[in-house]
Amino acid sequence: MKDNLPEKGAIVQRDRETYAIAPHIPGGIADPKTLRKIADVAEKYGAAALKVTSAQRIAIVGLKEEDLDNAWADLDMKPGAAVGLCVRSVKFCPGTTFCKQGKQDAVGLGLKLDEKYHGMSMPSKFKMAVSGCPNSCSEPAIKDIGVMGTAKGYTLMVGGAAAASPRLAEVVAKELSEEEVLDAIEKIVNFYKSSGTKKRLGRFIEDIGLESFKSQVGL
């Protein structure tokens, strides 16, 4: 029986014969040329569908295994980290770049986090999100690390998940600048990676307690 092919950025589909690939599109922001290229590849290799994913990517669904290498070569794009123990995605909303509701620059901060952390190895599955206002369109409260923009800066949350056992993230800092957010996230990631746990961040925090976690991280 076929399985995922992480080295080819491919996820086996329900038929156990075909695969889906999802080129990385940071924040889901793409130009027309990129969209045309994805459509051309889907058409050239007979994809069953194009699917907009929750990680702000466009999955090309239903490719044959023998076409995967050529499809990636034609795309000339990095794969999205859709499987494995790593930072799977950094989701962010339009923020002050495009949205009239935006209070903070979610796109600018999100792109910096994506460049640094996307695909980074972790003890467990790991997701991040940045929203530019309390409407939280990128769902930071159900991410391992969530950042929410307010009129007074950023609110930082940790330990969220939307898995089989959903968990709301807990607030660990408020009214942060962008630089303070980046510094705090680096501390959290470094501590988590060196902790020895194999649990997802929220469950790990439950084990040691939120105040202990904050103290050890230096928040």
Residue 164: pLDDT band with limits 50, 70, 90: confident
Q: Which of 29, 8, 20 is nearest to 94 (CA)?
A: 29
Band of residue 37 on the pLDDT scale cut at 50, 70, 90: very high
Burial (CB count within 10 angstroms: exposed 0-12, middle 13-18, buried 19+), residue 144: buried
pTM: 0.94
Confidence of residue 173 (pLDDT cuts 50, 70, 90): very high
pLDDT tens track for 59-76: 999 999 999 999 999 999
Helix runs in the chain, H state only = 32-44, 68-75, 95-98, 106-117, 178-193, 201-208, 210-217
pLDDT for position 1: 66
Cα 201 from chain centroid (whole Å): 15
pLDDT at 138: 98
pLDDT tens-digit profile of 75-91?
999 999 988 899 999 99
3-state helix, strand, coil in the chain (%, to 5): 35, 25, 35
Task: From 129, 149, 125, 147, select the one nearest 138 (Cα to Cα).
Answer: 129
